Amino acid sequence: MSVKTKSALDRTIAPPIKDAIEFDLSLPPYSRHVLSNGVEVYAIDLGSVDAMMVSWIFNGGNSFEKKKGVASAVSSLLKNGTSTRSAFDINEHFEYYGAWLNRASHHETSDITLHCLNKHIGQLLPVVAELISDSVFPQDELDIYKKNAQQRLQVSLKKSEFVAGRLIDAYLFGSEHPYGRYLEQGDYQQLEREDLTAFYHQHYREGACRIMVAGKLPADILTRLEAAFGGLPLHAPQKEVAFPAPSIIPAPQKKYNIVNDANGVQGSIRIARNFPNRHHPDFQRVQVLNNVFGGFFGSRLMANIREEKGYTYGIYSYLVNNIQESALVISTEAGKEVCAPTIAEVYKEMDLLREELIDEEELQMARNFAIGTILGDLDGPFHVASRWKNILLNGLDGQYFEEGVRIIKTIGPEELRELARKYLRPEDFFELVVV
């Protein structure tokens, strides 16, 4: 016969329910190191799984290119051949060790990201160093890239959502600004191997670089990084030099209706306004307002336009993650006969947020969603690294994270209404429908 002790768990009593905002959140710190060439390494040693990630972040986005499409082409072809290895050899090497090497090009930066088992890092780092220092961009690989890119663009231009995404950026920032510039078929045809090699030498081989490493890190990881990359002609980004920042020139007209497919039955709707970047004191406050407005599945836009009206399968609003200037965007697809009513309902929800106070129950739900999202972003070393990457590239520090959590937990209905009156005015928004 068992005896129940005081410490035994009584499973007849349900555990207390705890709202997400009651959790105390903290962003695990990184340790900073500097290689012999000045390149900074941000190391996040977390996790129990024998896996890790290394990310090389270069000042090599499309803000730095002199010809459209060069930055993305260099990023795509970086793994397609060195003086000693073919594209096949490179891919086979990473696949043999069960590793994944990704490249990505953004507006200000480009990056190479390696995911692998930590026991194989010694076999993989030298090959990444070879890509950074000795990529040759074979002409036949460039020809294939140009042909494939043109075919993908031809297919994408038939889709209203793709066209809407290109055009709204151009309206917000200007067609000559890196945030609003987009590629046409002829731009790919004009790419020359010399364009790629010049950009590669300036922004990769001898470029400004940061390294971020996360996961269950080997004890000798810094020694290995030094051996593979400390002797390369890389350098740290210059603190006093900002990313290239040409003037943002929004379009003078606010409303656009584009017929992309005369037989199309669906319209892609984008309603957007320019917005300050993360350094503005309203940025994190408006993120809370945006959650109520259209930031998640329980938002007002979703409840009204999807659940009640049935105009769309989904509608969201979000703040764009740009370094120079952000934007507040509402995005959805709807039947072309209900595009106008959908837009009217979006403005109606703006009006309500400007005129009425958000009740505590709704605000609590939006807060719980925001904190829950952060909890997800803190789940594991790779997510933590992504948080730090966003903070560091925007020139911020750990206090930004702490202030964001404080705002979520404490911002009130009156302050949110004032923000709505400031930023949710229909006359400030560009309005685009592409059918």
pLDDT digits (tens, 9 = 90+) for 388-405: 999 999 999 999 999 999
The predicted model scores a pTM of 0.91
**Cα 55–chain centre separation:** 15
Residues 6+ apart with CB under 8 A from 63: 107, 108, 178, 243, 244, 245
Cβ–Cβ contacts within 10 Å for residue 91, how many?
14
Q: Which residue has the tokens 């972040």?
A: 57
Per-residue pLDDT at 45 = 97
The top-level CATH class assigned to 255-434 is alpha beta
Is residue 243's pLDDT more than 80? Answer: no
* Listed residue (44, 231, 34) closest to 132, CA to CA: 231
pLDDT digits (tens, 9 = 90+) for 368-388: 999 999 998 898 999 999 999
> How would you class 410 by CB atoms within 10 Å of its CB: exposed for 0-12, middle for 13-18, buried for 19 or more?
exposed
CATH topology of domain 31-229: Cytochrome Bc1 Complex; Chain A, domain 1 (3.30.830)
H/E element, 288: helix 283-290
Q: Is 292 left (phi over 0), alpha (psi -120 to 50) or beta?
A: alpha
- CATH topology agreement for domains 31-229 and 255-434: yes
How many Cα atoms within 13 Å fall on the side-chain side of residue 263?
1
Assess contact for 330 and 271: CB atoms under 8 A: yes
Residues 6+ apart with CB under 8 A from 426: 347, 350
pLDDT digits (tens, 9 = 90+) for 291-340: 999 999 999 999 999 999 999 999 999 999 999 999 999 999 999 999 99
How many Cα atoms within 13 Å fall on the side-chain side of residue 193?
10
Per-residue pLDDT at 163 = 98
Is residue 241's pLDDT more than 60? Answer: no
Instruction: Give the Cα-Cα-Cα angle 43, 47, 53 (nearest 5 degrees).
Output: 50
pLDDT digits (tens, 9 = 90+) for 135-193: 999 999 999 999 999 999 999 999 999 999 999 999 999 999 999 999 999 999 999 99
Per-residue pLDDT at 377 = 87
Concatenated DSSP letters for 350-413?
HHHHHHSPPPHHHHHHHHHHHHHHHHHHTSSHHHHHHHHHHHHHTT--HHHHHHHHHHHHH--H
Which long-range contacts (C-beta less than 8 Å, at least 24 apart) are formed by 314-322? 315/342, 315/346, 317/290, 317/293, 318/290, 318/294, 319/275, 319/283, 319/286, 319/287, 319/290, 320/275, 321/390, 322/107, 322/179, 322/277
At 70, is the secondary structure helix, strand, or coil?
helix
3-state helix, strand and coil shares in percent for the chain, rounded to the nearest 5 = 45, 20, 35
> Domain spans of the chain?
31-229, 255-434
Q: Name residue 338's beta-bridge partners.
A: none
